[in-house]
Every structure is written in structure tokens, then in C-alpha cells.
Amino acid sequence: MTKRPTIRDVAALAGVSVATVSRVLSGDYPVAGATRTRVQRAVRELDYVVNAHARALSGTTSKVVALVVREVVSPFYARIAAGVEEQATEAHRLCLVCTTHGDPDRELEVIKLMREQQADAVILVGGVVENADYRERMYRYAQGLEDAGTRLVLCGRPSLGPDFPAISVEYDNAGGAFAATSQLLSGGHRRIAMLAGEPGLTTSDERIDGYRRAMAAFGAPIDPALIRHGWMSHEEGRRHVRELLAGRTAFTAIFAANDQMAAGALMELRAAGLRCPEDVSIIGYDDSPFAQDLWPALNSVHVPLDELGRTAVRLALAKSTGAPSRQQVMLGTHVVIRNSVRPATR
Amino acid sequence: MTKRPTIRDVAALAGVSVATVSRVLSGDYPVAGATRTRVQRAVRELDYVVNAHARALSGTTSKVVALVVREVVSPFYARIAAGVEEQATEAHRLCLVCTTHGDPDRELEVIKLMREQQADAVILVGGVVENADYRERMYRYAQGLEDAGTRLVLCGRPSLGPDFPAISVEYDNAGGAFAATSQLLSGGHRRIAMLAGEPGLTTSDERIDGYRRAMAAFGAPIDPALIRHGWMSHEEGRRHVRELLAGRTAFTAIFAANDQMAAGALMELRAAGLRCPEDVSIIGYDDSPFAQDLWPALNSVHVPLDELGRTAVRLALAKSTGAPSRQQVMLGTHVVIRNSVRPATR
DNA sequence: CTGTTAGCGCTTTCAA
DNA sequence: TTGAAAGCGCTAACAG
């Protein structure tokens, strides 16, 4: 491994000064055509590439966008990540990905790392449990990042208020839940089971909220026994239905807070000899890719995940163009109609 | 936004030299207890974090591992990515993610960026079309990266030979296909349709190879009409089955080169009034998370994707411990048995 | 249009 | 155990 060439090597070979080399490299500076050609040849000859760290150190931005998610293997996060990555690439930024596994300590550590990297933006993705010190913690993060010249973006997670020093990009979570529940209700369903996440998890809580509002709007009574909490997984979806069935709690439809749970519910229903949508209607949330591959294809609330990611990056990088560092935008959601819902017969 | 504090600020506040601060920060150097405490207090007081670029510039490694995938939204890549991210975190490395969308030019650009970043390792993930200049291109990459002190790892993609300056971490792709086909064959199936990817795509080609070998081993004739090529998607899976059915090409089982295609095939079969596994058995590949959520739950070839990712990082970073920079390892695959396969009746 | 030079913030000898 | 000082490779004034 020979030592990698530096800008001085290029300068020497091209017979110019390092400043000149730097100029032709960055492109935005008048340099004589002949000189430029000479430098470019030298660059190619030496197979030279700039040292990003040296460049970042001497002033210019680091050209890095950081994405902080709970898990990498999750269609939900993955689609946001894809949006972030695309937009970052478009803006000539590199994309750092970190996971927290929902651990606040890990989150803290990750944010610190991002400050060290002087990332242009840190995008925090997905729902959280808003416990006691969450707000305060976020506030400290925002502070520290701002000092490092880094924009903080909350993506798919409720804004902490207009005064909070961060950008927030949300989607109409409760609205989607309202629409989904309404679809069931207008089909005549009244006993609608709601499969939700852990209490306190923002994503889930907002979905429950939409469910409640729709029920109220249609004058349908809310039976607490129909609202089920747990880990938002396929397995848990099965468990909820199993217990509902065992407890002889009547229901003609299910609204699941995500598609995994809906798929689990579907499977357990089938195992119990119940058909969907003939006996029970189901509607999920997130419009995961596999929703249309199920049988019956699953109605679900579509969330513009990649748009969420793209918007997060766009807003964060608008810094240069003088956009405010604290703002909130909300993207719409809508129900995708497939084959898992049918009017109530009982 | 106040200027962020530097090591000098900390030194000043703690009343020591920058060298001392640097020492307590890196930890691995004898420093008097009292001094250390003083420095740490100053760090906390100023909310100081090191500048990663400055640190990287002054010699030490950049602590970054780069992951280059085709797409972010793909369970296949996502699971490898998860493994890479985990292991990278464990090794105190940050994880850069880039996508190529299968475009060689973009790949070239990404590799250049990684050289600029002086990443510790660049992990190239997933199958490729090994066309004419692919080898040569890879060789150039490897060269350039080695000069930058960066390890190149080919992950889930065939090694370019033991002399090639890169690490390769593969899985037994053909072996898995052989096992899957064998399962069908030993159930008495002889007319087995193979749903594959574009010709030339390494992943797909190796799976076809395993299929052929198994067919040969069981003395089953290979009907070219049963081997179908295309984009490896759900849609295409449906199309293949539709065309097979329309062309009246007899088959009692399907081996799909990935689970998406298997799911599509399953759906089209059902639409045509055929049952799985009663009428047609299906087996997929990759053991994607949704495979067990289908009805019937799908038999599939399990690929240790996260282990693949972890191994890639582990090997790449073993540099320090003096591991060779060129080696090949292969991880095993196995068939996961669920409910989509049944002995042939016709 | 081009060259000189002073840092950017940190690590790391070499001395003390 | 601590400090002084020389870079790491690049950019950005400031001169010419």
C-alpha cells in the first residue's frame, strides 16, 4: 500500500500551486483552460481523490446527513430511509445510518457521534414513548446540535411545539386512523376491535385517537375490551385475536395499528375457521408492500413514507437558502381500498 | 449559534495543555486522577465533543464503515444492512449507506466518495450482472481503496478469485437451490417450474444452477419452458404463472428464486382456482419475514443475511489484528419447512 | 489568473 | 505525568 497522494503531489506533477489545484477541484473559480487540463491530467495520473476530512476541517460543511432509526429491518423505517437516502444523494450528501433499538441511552450516544461528525442534519425517525424526560432530552439534543451547526429533524414523530428548535415532518396519523375506522363504520360495523401498540407510544396513541373520534362521530359506543395493547408484531396480532375469540368478545371488524398485526389477525382468524372479509373485515396501517400480497389483499392506510424522508432532508438542507430552522409540516394519509373490508351482515 | 468549543477551550478551562486533554479523551494514556477529573468537568461544562474530522485528519482512522447496496427498500438488503450496522456499532464504527440502483456509474461514484472518506471498509452487497468489464472495474476499485487503506468486501456476491485483493463473504446460494429443488423432487414432483431473475444476474444464475443439478441428480428431465426469467418481483411472479397456465405447460411445483415471486405465484394460482399445496407446491428463496405470514406459510431457503453482514464487518476490521486482506468465506443455507409443499399426486 | 501562507482542531513525538 | 510544537491535507484570504 503506497502512501496516497495529496494535493501537493498533484500540484507538483502539474507544475502549479496547491491553491490552483484546490480551485480546479472545487470548480467554482476562474482557472485558465490549459492549467485546468494539466491539473486534471495529474489528478487522473495519480488517481487522486481529496481527503474529505481535511476538506471538512478547513471550513466547508461535512456533506453528511444522519438518519437515526429504531431498526433497520422494518419496512416502515426502510421506506423513510430510502426517501432520505435519495434526497441526500440528490443534494450531494452522504447518508449515515444509526439505530437506537428504542434505547434512550443509545440515542444520546448516537446524537453525540453526529455532533462529532458535524453532520448537516440529524433526522430522528419514528414514534417514541414520550415519557417524563423525553422533552427535556430532546431539548438538550437540539441545543447541542444547533451549536454544531446541525439541523435536527423529527420525522414521523409529533412536533414538540413551534418554539422547539427543530424541524418536524409529520404525517396525518390520527386522520388516517379516523378514515380507516370510518370506512368500517360506514359499512355498518359497530363492534370494531382496535389492535394497538404499547400505551404511550406516540404512533399508536394517535391511531387510537383517530379510532375513538371516528367511533364517536358515528355514535358507536367504545368498548374498552375491544382496544388491545401490545408489541406491534405479527405474533401479537395473532394473540389479540386469539384472546378476543377466547373471551367471546363480539366483533365484526378489526382495525390494526399496523399491517403486521393485521396479517397476524388475518391468520388467526383463518385458523379459527373465520373468513375475511365475509365474517370479519380487517384494515391495517402503513400500506406495507406485503399488504397487497396477502389473501385477501389488505385495506390499509397509506403513509407517504419516502416523501416524508425526502421532505425531511429537503427542509433540513434549505438552511443555505435561508429557510427557518424551526417549522412543522404535515403530509396527508389516505385509505387504500383492497379486498379485506365488506359491509357488516350481522 | 455560538461557536462550538475546541480542545483549546477545554484545556484553558481545565488549566492544562491540549495534549493532556487529548489524552484523557482518548483514554489510553496515563493521566493523573485529579487532572483527568478536572478535564472531564471542563468537557461537561462546555458540552464539548471532539471534531471527528480533525481527529481523522491527524492520523487515526475515520471509524466509518460504508455499505453499498442496490436498494434500501428490500428485505434482502435490509437484513444484511442490519447485520452490518450492528457489528459496526459494536466495533465503534459509524455506518454510511449508499445505493447504486444497479447503475455502474453510480457505483463508481460511490466508491470514490468512500475513498474520500477514508472509510475503514467498503462493503458491496448483493448480486450483480457480471458483464464484460465488471471484473476490471472491480479490480480498479480494489486498487484505489487499498491505497486509501480501505478494505473492500464483496458480500453475497461471488468472489473474484483468491488472488483478487478483496474479502468475500458468500452464502451457499446454489446449495440452497439444490436443497429446495430436492425437497420437491423427493416429494415426487418432476414438472417443477423455476422462476428466476434476469439472465446474468449472479444470484439468480446460481439458483438456477442448483435447480439444474438437483433435477439431474434425480434424473428428472429439464424442460426449458419451465425456466422463466424476469425481474424478481411479486408482479413478475404472477405473470410467470399466468403465462405458464395460459401456455398449458404442465407443472406440479414451483421453485421461485425469491419469496416475492413465490408470493406472486401463489396469488395467481389462487386466482386461477388452483390450491397450494394441494394442487401445486411452492418453495421460495431468502426466507423473508413475510414468508411465514402467507397462507399457506411458505417453504423457503433461509439465508443467514444478518450473519453475512456481521461477518463482512468483522473480517474487514480484523485488519488491525493482522488478518489477511484477501480471503473468502462461505456461510451455509437451509430449507425452512412450512406448509406450501406436499408430495405430488399426479 | 496564480502563488503564498495562515489556519481548521486534533494527535503525537520529543522534552522536561 | 505533563507541555510544546510539528504536522495531518485542504481552503481561503491576501498578494501579486
- What confidence tens digit (pLDDT) does each residue in A203-242 have? 999 999 999 999 999 999 999 999 999 999 999 999 999 9
Which contiguous run of DSSP H or E holds residue B220? none
Would you say the C-beta of A16 is within 7 Å of strand C?
yes
- Residue window 216-255, chain B: list those with CB within 8 Å of chain A: 234
Which residue(s) pair with A193 in the sheet? A254
Report the residue of chain B nearest A99, measured CA to CA: B85
Write the secondary structure of B302-328 as one string of H (helix), E (strand) and C (coil): ECCHHHHHHHHHHHHHHHHHCCCCCEE
* A115 neighbourhood in chain B, CB within 8 Å: 49
Q: In this complex, which of B89, B144, B290 lies closest to A290 when CB atoms are compared?
A: B290
Q: How far is CA B3 from the centre of its chain?
A: 41
Share the mean pLDDT of chain A: 91
Predicted confidence (pLDDT) at residue A1 exceeds the cutoff of 60: no
Q: What is the pLDDT of residues A285-323, one digit of tens each?
A: 999 988 988 889 999 999 999 999 999 999 999 865 556
Confidence class for position B1, pLDDT limits 50, 70, 90: very low
pLDDT digits (tens, 9 = 90+) for B215-226: 999 999 999 999
Q: How confident is the model at residue B2 (pLDDT cuts 50, 70, 90)?
A: low
CA angle at residue B211 from B208 to B214, to 5 degrees?
150
Say how far apart CA B303 and CA B77 lie, in whole Å: 12
Task: Evaluate if the CB of B6 falls below 7 Å from strand C.
Answer: yes
Q: Is the CB of B267 under 7 A from strand C?
A: no
Per-residue pLDDT, averaged over B157-177, amounts to 90
Residue A312's identity, in one-letter code, is A
> How far apart are alpha carbons A113 and A107 in whole angstroms?
10
Q: Testing the interface with A: which of B51, B93, B238 to mutate, by most A Cβ within 10 A?
A: B51
Question: Are A149 and B295 a contacting pair at CB < 8 A?
Answer: no
Query: Residues near chain D (nucleic strand), Cβ < 7 A?
Result: A 3-4, 6-8, 18-19, 22, 25-26, 50-51, 54-55, 57-60; B 15-20, 23, 29-32, 34-36, 54, 57-59
Written as one letter, the residue type at A326 is R
Distance of C1' in D6 from CA in A56, Å: 21
**Whether A94 and B99 lie within 8 Å, measured CB to CB:** no
With an 8 Å Cβ cutoff, is B274 touching chain A? no
B344 touches chain A (CB under 8 A): no
CA B146 to chain centre: 21
Distance from CA(A57) to C1'(D3), angstroms, rounded: 25
Interval B217-266: pLDDT, tens:
999 999 999 999 999 999 999 999 999 999 999 999 999 999 999 999 99
For the CA of A151 and the C1' of D10, the distance in angstroms is: 25
CA distance A271 to chain B (A): 10
Residue range A113-165, pLDDT digits in tens: 999 999 999 999 976 777 777 888 888 888 888 877 889 999 988 888 888 88
For residue A326, what pLDDT band results from cuts at 50, 70 and 90?
A: confident
3-state helix vs strand vs coil in chain A, percent to 5: 45, 15, 35
pLDDT band at B321 (very low <50, low <70, confident <90, very high): low
Any CB–CB contact under 8 A between A53 and chain B? yes
Q: A81 pLDDT band (50/70/90 cuts)?
A: very high
Q: What is the band of B126 on the pLDDT scale with cuts at 50, 70, 90? A: confident
Question: Residue B153's CB: how many other CB atoms inside 10 A?
Answer: 26
Our CA angle for B209, B213, B219, nearest 5°, is 145
Please state whether beta strands B151-155 and B192-195 pair in parallel, antiparallel, or not at all (unpaired).
unpaired
Cβ burial of A1 (10 Å; 0-12, 13-18, 19+) is exposed
Peptide bond into A296 cis (omega under 30): yes
Residue A103: list chain B partners with CB under 8 A: none
- Bridge partner residues of B331 (DSSP): B171
| Contact between residue A118 and residue B53 where contact means Cβ atoms under 8 Å apart | yes
Q: Is A2 on the interface with B (CB under 8 A)?
A: yes
Domains, chain A, ordered by start: 7-58 (1.10.260.40), 62-171+305-330 (3.40.50.2300), 173-303 (3.40.50.2300)
Helices (H), chain A: 7-14, 18-26, 33-46, 52-57, 75-90, 104-117, 134-147, 173-186, 202-217, 234-246, 259-271, 305-317
Give the minimum alpha-carbon distance from A120 to chain B in angstroms, rounded to a whole number: 14
Q: E strand or H helix at A132, and its extent?
A: none
The residue-averaged pLDDT of B22-26 equals 92
Count of alpha carbons within 13 angstroms of residue A232, beta-carbon side: 24
CA B165 → C1' D16, Å? 49
Residue A146: list chain B partners with CB under 8 A.
1
- Tell me whether residues B295 and A295 touch, CB distance under 8 A: yes
CA distances, B17 to each of A116, B13, B56, B59 (Å): 21, 10, 21, 20
The position carrying cell 462529532 is A116
Beta bridge partners of A63: none
| Unique residue bearing C-alpha cell 416429494 | B187
Under DSSP, the state recorded for A292 is G
Each as own residue / partner, the long-range contacts of residues B216-223 (CB below 8 Å, 24 or more positions apart, any chain) are: B217/B178, B217/B182, B218/B182, B218/B185, B218/B186, B220/B185, B220/B190, B220/B192, B221/B190, B223/B191, B223/B249
Crossing angle of the two packed helices A134-147 and A104-117, in degrees rounded to 10: 10
